[in-house]
A and B are shown apart, each in its own frame.
Chain A
Amino acid sequence: MKTFVPPKFIVERNRDRCINCQVCVRQCTFGTHYYDPDYDEVLSREGNCVGCHRCAIFCPTGAITIRRNPLEYRENDNWRPEILEDIKRQAETGGMLLTGMGCDKDQKIYWDHLVLNASQVTNPSIDPLREPMELTTYIGAKPERVEIDPNTKALKTRIAPQVELSIPVMFSAMSYGAVSLHVQESLARAASEFGTLWNTGEGGLHRRLYKYKDHTIVQVASGRFGVHPDYLDAGRIIEIKIGQGAKPGIGGHLPGEKVSADVARTRMIPTGTDALSPAPQHDIYSIEDLAQLVYALKEATNYEKPISVKIAAVHNSAAIASGMVRAGADMIVLDGLRGSTGAAPKVIRDNVGIPIELALAAADARLRQEGIRNRASLVVAGGIRKSSDVLKAIALGADAVYIATAALVALGCTICQQCPTGKCAWGICTSDPVLTKRINPEIGAERLYNLLRGWSLEIKDMLGGMGINSIESVRGNRLHLRGIGLNETELEILGVRHAGA
């Protein structure tokens, strides 16, 4: 069928600079560039371009510029070009629109409406370059109170398992199969070297990555792929995945073409079959059932590891968070509207779930009101883009954050949203053995380590400016936040005052 969907991008090739070396032809995985022997020239099929900029970055002479196709239809604020194109694409295929990464729509980003405080005159700021600053964070249930033996000064209270992080930032779940093994290895190495954790996602743990086990969160999701006693033992934390911000309430499936022999071995399913993740976990239909799985995992690992439960942030997630804590979770994770995915129906990604800032503030407040905030660490994911987002999240009540999109961007991702095609030109979201080589785990780990180092310096700088020398003192300290351009309801939910007040 003739497609009525116009090219999204325009490829401009500067003929004065192009030396017809065909690097662009080899780098593009979507077939945009090709060599025409008749003209003895490299040419482009613009309709194929996804705007990932791989060719532009790798062109040795800087001859390529990718521009958005202006698509100057008659102005219409209602029938925008994206809506027209979506309808046409569905008319041509009869399918659900599938996309990757997180919601790209213009729902309010609350991080950008929150500002941090700093010390002026009335208390001194701290210079983090010359004074100690503490970012160390412990994940795990904290006791109601601690008792110390007055004679021996020894701790009498039994402390639940804790995991130490050198920065309150962990790498969020990305499964092997969705991302390549090299991406996972980059994450695992960076987490190990920096002193934080990475997360296997639900695709099992490749044998090659068991050596990073002290820095690994292993996930148990509805598909239960690659879940066995060795896998559970390998995890520093075991995470039950109920939902994901990009696709709350729905399952997923890794298409058969991505289930290579190696992915199959790790997931323990036959090569080439669809790896179906059911929408619910069929052993969890209630908070009581969740408690049963939490304790099944505690029993399976002799109560030696914190058990995490992750849900997508939805309308009543604060109440659910309370249930999760009461079900015995040592860490709870809320994943917001902007959380990413390797594949989700666009309609779900863009329309289901709530912004993480509101979910976080509501959950933290609820757990405090109920007097159970200490029983679990609260981790948020979905839309953490920079170090200031991290600090604002902690001031809103988070113990730590998860990042995934930011980590992939560090590895080269340009958020072109082609993840479900498996053709990622940056070699990230693919199981193609050739494309996978585009990420070198050593360099990948270095890039991720650098990102964490940069953020950690920035967080210390912001803390110092606030006159605070420990991240612990900012946790849930909403007085350090002010809102800008927020209405009464928003301020009330966030628990912050407006700037100036």
Chain B
Amino acid sequence: MVTVLSKSSAVEIDAMGLTHKQMNARLREAVAGGAERIELYNVFGQKYIGTDLNRPVEIHIHGTPGGDLGSFMRGPRITVYGNAQDGTGNTMDDGLIVVHGHAGDITGLAARGGKIFIRDSVGYRTGIHMKAYGDRQPIVVVGGTAQDFLGEYMAGGILVVLGLDLAEDEAHRAHFIGTGMHGGVIYIRGKVNDYQLGKEVGMAPLSENDWTILRPLIEEYAAHFGGRAEEIIGRGGFSKLYALSLRPYGRLYAY
């Protein structure tokens, strides 16, 4: 079922009827064989695509991948032509995931590097406990909106929620945004009421410096999914959410 398209660089895999174990074995085999671009067809819920490949190979997924897409992933550049399920980019190390659709809960959980672009909306606890260190900076960009506990425990990285599906003056629906946040930054477009924020989070307008970070991410979003970055930016209503303290739970204990 592995079809070599040209020399060894492009490979097609028909995932119909394959278990995740069989399919990921084929991916390892293809990457070991020097594949640089892999087209996966008929993907029906196979999990863990992109893990243990450790090379910047391009993977195009036609269908619906299963949970933990790109979990513990280092390197691959995955495009999904459809929706993704829960745990996309779970503890991801490096690489790229682009989803032309929605993604489920805990998108980007504990990611410590790499980029995730979701065209539409995401589920609960997106960007939970992402962390950055040195030059490692996980980035999650969501075109639509997110559910509750967005950026919970966030320790580092950049989380962008563009709210493109919100009507003018319509508020985001997520509550407890940034609960326990103690690092990183959330850029969110669209109305967010104070009561929707975790108590460890502050809200501020964007500075020039923030725009130098955010603008290229919006441009990259537009490049992946179409549309114009200037149009998105022109809609206005951007806020920055940040951790009020590096140590949100410093005064809980007696010794």
Contact = CB atoms under 8 A, between A and B. Distances in A.
B155 A292 contact: no
B133 A270 contact: yes
Interface residues of A, number: 46
By DSSP majority rule, is chain A's interface helix, strand, loop, or mixed? mixed
A292 B251 contact: no
Interface in A218-240: 220, 222-225, 227-229, 232
B255 A274 contact: no
Interface in A255-301: 255-256, 264-265, 268-270, 272-274, 276, 278, 282-283, 292-293, 295-297, 299-301
B37 interface: no
Nearest to A222: B129
A302 interface: yes
B254 A300 contact: no
Interface in B212-255: 246-255
B216 to A, nearest CB: 23
B87 interface: yes
Given A278-B129, A292-B67, A299-B20, A229 B255 contact: no
A222 B52 CA distance: 21
Contacts of A90: 254
Contacts of B93: 228-229
A420 interface: yes
A283 B248 CA distance: 23
Given A228-B74, A300-B52, A270 B68 contact: no
Contacts, number: 140
A90, A253, A255: which has the most chain B beta carbons within 10 Å? Answer: A253
A267 B67 CA distance: 26
Contacts of A269: 131, 133, 155-156, 183
A288 to B, nearest CB: 10
A345 B106 CA distance: 28
B254 A273 contact: no
A295 B20 contact: yes
B47 A274 contact: no
B21, B72, B156, B247: which has the most chain A beta carbons within 10 Å? Answer: B72
Interface in B11-52: 20-21, 24, 28, 47-48, 51-52
A98 interface: yes
A95 interface: yes
Given A227-B72, A268-B133, A95 B251 contact: yes
B116 interface: no
B146 to A, nearest CB: 14
A90 B24 CA distance: 55
Interface residues of B, number: 48
Contacts of A253: 249
A292 B52 CA distance: 16
B190 to A, nearest CB: 25
A85 to B, nearest CB: 11
B253 A98 contact: yes
A384 B207 CA distance: 57
Given A296-B48, A296-B90, A302-B52, A270 B183 contact: yes
Contacts of B131: 224-225, 268-269
B145 to A, nearest CB: 19
Given A274-B249, A282-B125, A420 B255 contact: yes
B248 A274 contact: yes
Contacts of A278: 128-129, 153, 180
Interface in A403-429: 420-421
A414 B28 CA distance: 50
A95 B20 contact: no
Interface in B39-94: 47-48, 51-52, 54, 67-68, 71-72, 74, 86-87, 90-91, 93
Contacts of B125: 282
A98 B254 CA distance: 6
A144 B71 CA distance: 31
B136 A97 contact: no
22 contacts: A90-B254, A95-B252, A96-B254, A97-B255, A98-B253, A98-B254, A225-B131, A229-B52, A229-B72, A229-B93, A269-B183, A273-B182, A273-B247, A274-B246, A276-B153, A282-B106, A292-B87, A296-B47, A296-B71, A296-B72, A297-B72, A345-B253
Interface of B: 20-21, 24, 28, 47-48, 51-52, 54, 67-68, 71-72, 74, 86-87, 90-91, 93, 106, 109-110, 112, 125, 128-129, 131-134, 136, 152-153, 155-156, 180, 182-183, 246-255
